[in-house]
Structure formats: C-alpha cells, structure tokens
A = this chain, B = another copy of it.
C-alpha cells in the first residue's frame, strides 16, 4: 500500500517514460485548462509525474515548450481548397486560420506572436492564401499586401475574441459608462446596431472588406 518512490537512473524500459509529444500534449492540456500562466516546469512535471528536471532532457527550455505548442496547433489547421473561385478560397483560409487560433484561447497570444515572427510553420500555412490572391490576378505586390492585411486582420480578431469573449452586450454597457459627449458617434452607431442587428457577422464582414478592397486596389492600379 506504500506509494512507490521514483528513483534516479535510466528507466528499465525499451521506451523512455518521457517523450517530446507526451510533454507537449500534457502542456497543451495544462494551458487549455488553466491558462498560460499555469504553465510552469514544476507544474508540468507534476502532471507527468516526473522530476521537473527530467523535461530538460527532451526540450531545452520553457520557450521551446511554448513554441512547440504553437507548432502543434499550426499543424492542426484544416485544409483549404486549392481550386474553385479565389474569393471562396480566401474565405475558407480565413475561417480555417481563425478556427485554429480560437481552438486554444489561452494560447492565442503566443499563436499570433509566433505567426508575425514568421516561424517556418507560420509561413507554410500562408501558401494557400497567397495562391488564392494570385489566382485573383493581383500583381505580386498586391498579393503580398492583401495577404498581409488579411493575416493581420485575423490575428487582431483572434486576439480580441480570446481576450474579450462576448456575453450579452458588454460594449453597450461600457459605452453607457463613458461621458456621452466624448463618444457621440460611437453611442449613436451602437444604438442603431443594437436596434437592428446586422445580418452578417463581424468576422465575415472584415474578410469581405479585405477581399473587395484588394480587388478594387488592383483594378485602380491597372488604370481601372
């Protein structure tokens, strides 16, 4: 009935107790459940039932764990169609990237930061988006600018969605608390929207704005 005490030394197994995937899986669970602040080497080790220092034999440091986590999440991005109407492919890419980010709200900050730091994994997932804007007939600089604008928009959106999950009408309450004369337009506009909610959601509208803006920009650049 005595709890077995772990002893140092190489484990007598053909397979080691600890593996990189097992560590990352436990870390992702921890972050999903308790937030990025709860991810510490000691807590993670506790969850794996192992000495904190054992982890360092598989991942060099905590930063490597976090970027490993982000890489794992990138690898779950849903596939995007490689043919069909280009605008539909842009929409599909935006949805897939957003879903990836929002699947792990506690990791959004790291996902977004890594995406803008342009790690290999982050660069790779952008290819279908470039291909879609390229298929639209945009000139190379326009492809880069349109894809960048869309990525930045989704990054900003994901950050907002994760930081301030919407319940009821928090924006309305917040606006009511501020001095009316400082934000007349915001109050009026928000009141109008509250009376008659928009038929298209905020995310889709942002994507549509960028799709139409990119085509307009390209048309204008080539002389209309």
Contacts and interface: CB of A to CB of B under 8 A. Distances in A.
Interface of A: 109, 112-113, 116-118, 120, 123-124, 126-127, 130-131, 134, 140-146, 148-149, 151-157, 159-160, 163-164, 170-171, 174-175, 177-178, 182-186, 188-190, 192-193, 197-198, 200, 202, 205-206, 208-214, 216-217, 220
A5 to B, nearest CB: 37
A140 to B, nearest CB: 4
A152 B206 CA distance: 9
Contact of A213 (B123, B124, B127, B210): B210
A145 B124 CA distance: 29
B141 A193 contact: yes
14 contacts: A116-B164, A117-B163, A118-B171, A127-B182, A134-B188, A134-B189, A140-B190, A140-B192, A142-B205, A145-B198, A152-B155, A208-B213, A209-B209, A213-B213
Nearest to A204: B145
Q: Which of A118, A149, A192 has the most CB of B within 10 A?
A: A149
Contact of A116 (B120, B159, B209): B159
A54 to B, nearest CB: 26
Nearest to A149: B206
Contacts of A211: 213
A199 B147 CA distance: 17
B152 A157 contact: yes
Contacts of A155: 152, 155-156, 159-160
Contacts of A152: 152-157, 159-160, 206
